[in-house]
Amino acid sequence: MTSTSSTGSGPLSAEHEELRRTVEAFARDEVAPVIGDYYEKGAFPYDIVAKMGRMGLFGLPFPEEYGGMGGDYFALCLALEELARADSSVAITLEAGVSLGAMPIFRFGTDKQREEWLPRLCSGEALGAFGLTEPGGGSDAGATRTTARLEEGRWVIDGTKSFITNSGTDITALVTVTAVTGRKPDGRPEISTILVPSGTPGFTVGQKYSKVGWSASDTRELVFQDCRVPEENLVGERGRGYAQFLRILDEGRIAIAALSVGLAQGCVDESLRYAGEREAFGSAIGGYQAIQFKIADMEARAHTARLAYYEAARKMLAGEPFKKEAAIAKLVSSNAAMDNARDATQVFGGYGFMNEYAVGRFYRDAKILEVGEGTSEVQRMLIARELGLPA
């Protein structure tokens, strides 16, 4: 049994369509009316996150044995798209909490780590973060400077991480960090991943960044100085941290693509509404071909980008190689979000420059989508390599 979504996304399974409609209603009725106030204050929306937790959104792709919903990664992507149609701060909180906070533990953790952490993360009672990016690293994630050495059965971590989402909220329970744990025979750094619970001595969470967008999400710098955690907090194999986070980033690019599509579609939604209400020169502006063509282009971008992330998710769930498709989806979708945000602001005219209107938030939120979880330049590089062009 299949059904067709109102976003023009084509046939979805009955279960996926039910989820999409549920999140669509939640975003429209619970998020959209109040998020502007959080955004202006730069406040984290704890009550919205709690409601999302009770809905099971943080547990969507995880097995029921860990408190999850037993769904799949595509279900998460559908939820992200619908949330981002209303607000990206809420959507990125879910995306980072699931694909960056909980997924490394699920994919690579021990049974004990999964049993200890996943139930709280799946319920939304706690958030996890992923400490990858460093102040001097940026896109060069392999140039990790944070170090971890073993001393008497404990990892001693020293270093700094930057731009880490969900890392300093009142409900943040842990951060998983990448660190250099030695050298390989060829002299390259051995990078491993280590779980650090919040409140661990030597682990300092910085102040919130003052950001252009995503103002209602939590993003901070993290500092580790002689931070000690048990040896068993290693996540996955020692020395496999780089390969592990590449897998996490490949998956995460599909999720960010879905979020980007949501923002792009939200721009269409808002522009259609406004074009029917706003009058100029004696008639609604939606009757003018210049506005019609602009909105038509916006819808075409959102539709095309949606197909791209659907295909990437399909290949991922089928167990097929999906690196190229994930990079294409992320590139196309983030471009669509940025272009649609710019065009929606133009449709709204002066009102589009006012933060009281959703398109003002959309414009501020769109740019980071071309940067976070791999810049557009990195996506092009990945696509080229997958096509067989030399590295």
Domain range annotation of the chain: 2-127, 129-240, 243-386
Which architecture characterizes domain 243-386 according to CATH?
A: Up-down Bundle (1.20)
Contact 267, 340 (CB under 8 A): yes
Indicate if the pLDDT at residue 8 is higher than 50.
no
Statement: 129-240 belongs to CATH 2.40.110.10: yes
Indicate if the pLDDT at residue 186 is higher than 80.
yes
Select which of 81, 95, 270, 373 is catalytic: 373
Angle 14-100-114 (CA atoms, 0-180°, nearest 5)?
85
What is the DSSP track for 204-237?
EEEEEP--SS-TTS-EEEEEEEEEEEEGGGB-SS
Neighbouring residues of 126: CB distance < 8 A, sequence distance ≥ 6 = 117, 120, 171, 172, 173, 174
Quote the mean pLDDT of the chain: 94
Which architecture characterizes domain 2-127 according to CATH?
A: Orthogonal Bundle (1.10)
Indicate if the pLDDT at residue 5 is higher than 90.
no
Contact 278, 284 (CB under 8 A): yes
pLDDT tens-digit series, residues 79-119: 999 999 999 999 999 999 999 999 999 999 999 999 999 99
Confidence of residue 10 (pLDDT cuts 50, 70, 90): low
Quick one: pLDDT at residue 90?
98
Ranges of beta strands (E only) in 11-94 are: 11-13
370 counts as catalytic:
no
Q: What is the mean pLDDT of residues 242-269?
A: 95
Confidence of residue 350 (pLDDT cuts 50, 70, 90): very high
End-to-end CA distance of the chain: 45
Quick one: pLDDT at residue 7?
41
Distance CA 199, CA 27 (A): 33
Strands 172-183 and 189-197: antiparallel
Distance CA 328, CA 336 (A): 12
Torsion of the alpha carbons at 366, 333, 340 and 284, rounded to the nearest 10: -130
pLDDT tens-digit series, residues 291-311: 999 999 999 999 999 999 999
Q: What is the mean pLDDT of residues 219-223?
A: 97
Contact 329, 369 (CB under 8 A): no
Distance CA 389, CA 376 (A): 17
Distance CA 387, CA 378 (A): 14
Q: What pTM was estimated for this model as a whole?
A: 0.94
Class of residue 355 by CB neighbours under 10 A (exposed 0-12, middle 13-18, buried 19+): middle
Show the DSSP H helices in 85-240 as ranges: 88-95, 103-108, 111-123
Confidence of residue 141 (pLDDT cuts 50, 70, 90): low
Distances (CA, A) of 367 to 36, 88, 209, 217, 300: 19, 12, 16, 15, 20
Distance CA 321, CA 310 (A): 14
Range of lowest pLDDT (136-145, 197-206, 214-223, 238-247): 136-145
pLDDT tens-digit series, residues 27-84: 999 999 999 999 999 999 999 999 999 999 999 999 999 999 999 999 999 999 999 9
The closest alpha carbon to 359, from 331, 340, 336, belongs to 340
